[in-house]
């Protein structure tokens, strides 16, 4: 019997050792306490084995000391685990150190029993199945028991309290743990009360450990998952029905029960509406698929029909074996009526083309508002993150955001052109810089399609020209982007030179040739029409607004230039743009290279201004947080206001160096707030910058005419924000950061 008992104890010991290595999978803080409980359990089982194998009284007494000390710490760590598991962390923080001290004293007292014998005595007894060393307890030992069982009672009280206060699956998870603990406690009490030869409760340590571990990591999460999925399915805005292989319905969510009066217990595939659906599929010779379904509306509202899209598919297990089928029903009534309304709106829009342009410009304002937060917070991620994976994600967001912003700017440019408010602003620029920027922006896109981009620039082209470099870059970018979109193999070649060069003037000529699909002669005439693409059906998968070339032609015309197109279907196209420019520096630019010295992309503030103080006013808290984050490293003192009235109160008593003011806010709006600030308080002469998503044609001039010092449109970038503050903050409060 002794051998069997020892073998069972060893198996229990090995089980706990295995569980100790797996407790790290328990993510909560109670996982560490459970791990310590298992370690104490290992010590107890080891001591129990030593007791069974004791050859003399000293060894047996030492083993009993280790065993009783291990029980102390099993109870301590198990109590900590239970308190954390039942969410009594505050109480645990108060008791853990005092109780640990008591347990430590009790453990030392048990160990000193080897010298003083004040806790228990050990004597040898013979039984039919062998000799064992048993204990006789002294009065001091009962103090040890009182401490242990007081802690046990405390644990049970908090467990029962949590069970009473909990519900559903959470009550079940606490009951399971409580049951396991009670079984071990009862067996231990029996050992003490009946004077059993060996403590059989230690054998259940492993079983209890396994049950607790799998209860926490498997049973509770899976049960919660089932409950959550059932609830989520019921809360879906679509209908779902599940069927067994024999066609009996095993579940229908609330959508199906309420919309189609379905009773899952008495429903099968022969009933409506699924029977009609299946018959339609059979007409097409298929077993699964999706169709549109409509029926008369069930109410007396303005709509006479309800429209649904129904999908029927097979349900398979992880090995691909069929286990049933399901119906997914989507209510498309709103979409159907919306499409009808859109058709009517389209007819109206076609009769009012100018109104269309105003609508697009207004919508771009609404898109810029959330885009400001998206791109701004993404910039903060790039500034603060050292994780390459996160930076890659953030760079992808930045690329997509820039692409979206480019589309919005196309819409704005088109509206400005239609309103005859597009401004051509001349300044000095280097053609090599424009070409290099375009190459860097499009090379990745080209490489994703296995295309090349070649740039051939005449070495004798002037180093610096005078003209609207920003719009020239936009023209070149639009044409290159268009070439890449419609080229599937080969690549794009850009040739740049200057013709008719005189002392102060020249004609800048660049030709963009591709090896794409080419353009039919009959389509070239409509190539530059807005919102229209050549061969819509053939090119349906190619993304774009259809504005790029229309804007390009208008920009070229505004700069007194010309654009020509030559194309051969199946071989490619060439766009040639000629724009007259002034010469700022006639020195030959020399050989063009696609890359220059790579500068670090790590963000660094351009200045410090710890003594400066600004006010930021916006009714969207996220925008306030964004400006504060973008300017954090500059050291500027920042006050924020969430509305006009709050801003006015702050400006009456606080002097600011600059004020950033949003336009569209609840009453009073930004303009009304500015009128008050500019006449009252201590900030009548403070520069006020309009920081707004309003980027409509003529917006900047309108705000400047109102008296605003400057204008900055959203989405705002950190570099732009710092640049405009550098322009208006007092120079004596600014310390510039020089690049090393």
User: Which pLDDT does position 452 carry in this prediction?
Assistant: 93
Arithmetic mean of pLDDT, 191-200: 57
Determine whether domain 236-337 maps to CATH 3.30.450.20.
Answer: yes
Nearest to 145 by CA among 108, 189, 112: 189
Beta-ladder partners of 133: 124
pLDDT value at 104 more than 80: yes
Go through 40-59 and write b for each residue having 16 or more CB atoms within 10 A of its CB, e for each that does not: bbbbbbbbbbbbbebeeeee
Cα dihedral 143/148/152/157 (nearest 10): 40
Arithmetic mean of pLDDT, 228-257: 83
pLDDT value at 371 more than 60: yes
Distances (CA, A) of 543 to 19, 32, 35, 52, 547: 55, 54, 56, 79, 12
Arithmetic mean of pLDDT, 136-143: 86
pLDDT value at 448 more than 70: yes
Q: For 607-736, which CATH class?
A: alpha beta
Arithmetic mean of pLDDT, 1-7: 72
User: Rounded to two decimals, what is the model's pTM?
Assistant: 0.40
Higher-scoring residue by pLDDT: 567, 289 = 567
Helix axes of 431-448 and 469-485: crossing angle, nearest 10 degrees: 20
Q: Is 191 exposed, middle or buried (0-12, 13-18, 19+ CB in 10 A)?
A: middle
N residues, the chain: 740
DSSP conformational letter for 215:
I
Report domain extents, the chain: 2-227, 236-337, 342-418, 427-588, 607-736
User: Which pLDDT does position 167 carry in this prediction?
Assistant: 74
Q: Determine what percent of the chain is predicted with pLDDT higher than 90.
A: 22
Q: How confident is the model at residue 665 (pLDDT cuts 50, 70, 90)?
A: confident
Q: How confident is the model at residue 306 (pLDDT cuts 50, 70, 90)?
A: confident
Arithmetic mean of pLDDT, 18-37: 81
Arithmetic mean of pLDDT, 543-565: 78
CA distance 718 to 740: 20
pLDDT value at 507 more than 60: yes
Please write the tens of the pLDDT for every residue from 151-191: 888 888 888 888 888 876 677 777 877 877 777 777 666 66
Q: Are 607 and 726 in contact (CB under 8 A)?
A: yes
Q: How confident is the model at residue 369 (pLDDT cuts 50, 70, 90)?
A: low
In Å, how far from its chain's centre is CA 93? Answer: 34
User: Which pLDDT does position 509 carry in this prediction?
Assistant: 94
Task: Work out the number of other CB atoms within 10 angstroms of the CB of residue 153.
Answer: 11
User: Which pLDDT does position 548 carry in this prediction?
Assistant: 67
Arithmetic mean of pLDDT, 144-154: 87
Q: How confident is the model at residue 739 (pLDDT cuts 50, 70, 90)?
A: low
User: Which pLDDT does position 498 carry in this prediction?
Assistant: 92
* Average pLDDT for the chain: 81
Angle at 393 between CA 388 and CA 396, to 5 degrees: 125
Arithmetic mean of pLDDT, 304-328: 84
Q: Are 293 and 309 in contact (CB under 8 A)?
A: yes
Higher-scoring residue by pLDDT: 181, 356 = 181
Q: How confident is the model at residue 300 (pLDDT cuts 50, 70, 90)?
A: low
Q: Residue with structure tokens 């919102």?
A: 531
Nearest to 432 by CA among 473, 399, 468, 402: 473
Highest mean pLDDT among 267-276, 459-468, 590-599, 693-702: 459-468
Beta-ladder partners of 182: none
CA distance 693 to 674: 17
User: Which pLDDT does position 198 carry in this prediction?
Assistant: 58
Determine whether domain 342-418 maps to CATH 3.30.1330.180.
Answer: no
Task: Work out the number of other CB atoms within 10 angstroms of the CB of residue 8.
Answer: 16
Domain pair 2-227 / 427-588, same fold: no
Please write the tens of the pLDDT for every residue from 577-628: 999 999 999 899 999 988 644 444 566 788 899 989 999 999 888 889 888 9
CATH topology of domain 2-227: Rhopdopsin 7-helix transmembrane proteins (1.20.1070)
Q: For 427-588, which CATH class?
A: alpha beta
Q: Are 496 and 589 in contact (CB under 8 A)?
A: no
User: Which pLDDT does position 542 carry in this prediction?
Assistant: 45
Task: Work out the number of other CB atoms within 10 angstroms of the CB of residue 551.
Answer: 25
pLDDT value at 528 more than 90: no
User: Which pLDDT does position 60 carry in this prediction?
Assistant: 87
């Amino acid at each position: 019997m002794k051998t069997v008992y020892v073998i069972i104890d060893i198996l229990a010991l090995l089980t706990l050792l295995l569980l100790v290595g797996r407790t790290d999978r328990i993510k909560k803080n109670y996982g560490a306490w459970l791990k310590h409980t298992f370690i104490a359990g290992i010590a107890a089982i080891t001591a129990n084995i030593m007791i069974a194998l004791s050859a003399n009284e000293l060894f047996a007494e030492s083993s009993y000391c280790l065993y009783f000390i291990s029980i102390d710490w099993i109870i301590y760590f198990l109590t900590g685990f239970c308190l954390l598991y039942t969410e009594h962390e505050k109480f645990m923080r108060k008791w853990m150190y005092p109780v640990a001290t008591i347990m430590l004293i009790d453990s030392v007292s048990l160990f000193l029993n080897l010298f003083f014998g004040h806790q228990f005595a050990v004597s040898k007894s013979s039984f039919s199945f062998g000799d064992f060393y048993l204990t006789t307890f002294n009065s001091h030992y009962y103090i040890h028991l009182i401490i242990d069982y007081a802690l046990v009672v405390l644990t049970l009280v908090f467990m029962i309290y949590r069970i009473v206060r909990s519900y559903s699956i959470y009550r079940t998870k606490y009951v399971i743990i409580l049951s396991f603990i009670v079984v071990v406690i009862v067996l231990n009490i029996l050992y003490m009360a009946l004077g059993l030869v060996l403590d059989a409760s230690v054998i259940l340590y492993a079983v209890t450990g396994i049950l607790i571990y799998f209860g926490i990591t498997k049973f509770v999460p899976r049960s919660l998952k089932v409950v959550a999925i059932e609830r989520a399915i019921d809360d879906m805005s679509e209908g779902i029905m599940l069927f067994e292989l024999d066609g009996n319905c095993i579940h229908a969510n609330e959508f199906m029960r309420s919309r189609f009066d379905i009773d899952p217990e008495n429903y099968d595939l022969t009933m409506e509406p699924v029977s009609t659906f299946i018959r339609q599929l059979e007409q097409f010779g298929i077993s699964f698929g999706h169709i549109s379904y409509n029926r008369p509306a069930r109410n007396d509202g303005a709509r006479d029909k309800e429209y649904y899209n129904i999908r029927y598919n097979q349900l398979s297990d992880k090995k691909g074996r069929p286990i049933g089928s399901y119906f997914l029903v989507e209510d498309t009534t709103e979409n159907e009526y919306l499409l009808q309304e859109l058709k009517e709106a389209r007819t109206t829009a076609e009769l009012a083309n100018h109104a269309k342009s105003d609508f697009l410009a207004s919508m771009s304002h609404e898109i810029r508002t959330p885009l400001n937060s998206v791109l701004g917070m993404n910039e903060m991620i790039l500034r603060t993150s050292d994780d390459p994976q996160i930076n890659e994600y953030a760079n992808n967001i930045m690329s997509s955001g820039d692409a979206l912003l480019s589309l919005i700017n196309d819409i704005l440019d088109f509206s400005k052109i239609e309103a005859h408010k597009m401004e051509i602003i001349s300044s000095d620029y280097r053609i090599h810089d424009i070409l290099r920027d375009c190459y860097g922006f499009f090379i990745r896109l080209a490489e994703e399609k296995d295309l090349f981009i070649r740039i051939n620039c005449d070495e004798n082209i002037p180093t610096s020209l005078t003209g609207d470099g920003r719009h020239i870059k936009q023209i070149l970018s639009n044409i290159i982007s268009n070439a890449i979109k419609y080229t599937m193999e080969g690549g794009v070649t850009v040739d740049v030179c200057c013709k008719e060069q005189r002392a102060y003037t020249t004609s800048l000529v660049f030709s963009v040739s591709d090896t794409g699909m080419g353009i039919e002669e009959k389509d070239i005439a409509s190539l530059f029409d807005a919102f229209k693409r050549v061969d819509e059906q053939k090119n349906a998968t190619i993304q774009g607004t259809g504005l790029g070339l229309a804007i390009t032609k208008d920009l070229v015309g505004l700069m007194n230039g010309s654009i020509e197109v030559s194309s051969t279907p199946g071989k490619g196209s060439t766009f040639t743009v000629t724009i007259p420019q002034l010469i700022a520096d006639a020195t030959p630019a020399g050989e063009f290279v696609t890359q220059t010295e790579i500068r670090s992309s790590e963000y660094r503030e351009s200045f410090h201004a710890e003594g400066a103080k600004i006010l930021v006013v916006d009714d969207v808290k996220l925008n306030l947080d964004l400006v504060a984050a973008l300017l954090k490293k500059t050291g500027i003192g920042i006050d924020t206001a969430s509305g006009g009235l709050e801003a006015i109160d702050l400006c009456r008593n606080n002097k600011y160096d600059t004020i950033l003011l949003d336009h569209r806010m609840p009453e009073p709006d930004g303009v009304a707030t500015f009128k008050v600030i500019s006449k009252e308080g201590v900030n009548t002469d403070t520069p006020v910058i309009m920081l707004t998503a309003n980027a409509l044609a003529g917006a900047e001039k309108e705000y400047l005419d109102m008296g605003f010092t400057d204008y900055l449109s959203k989405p705002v970038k950190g570099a732009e924000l710092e640049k405009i503050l550098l322009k208006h903050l007092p120079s004596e409060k600014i310390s510039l950061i020089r690049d090393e």
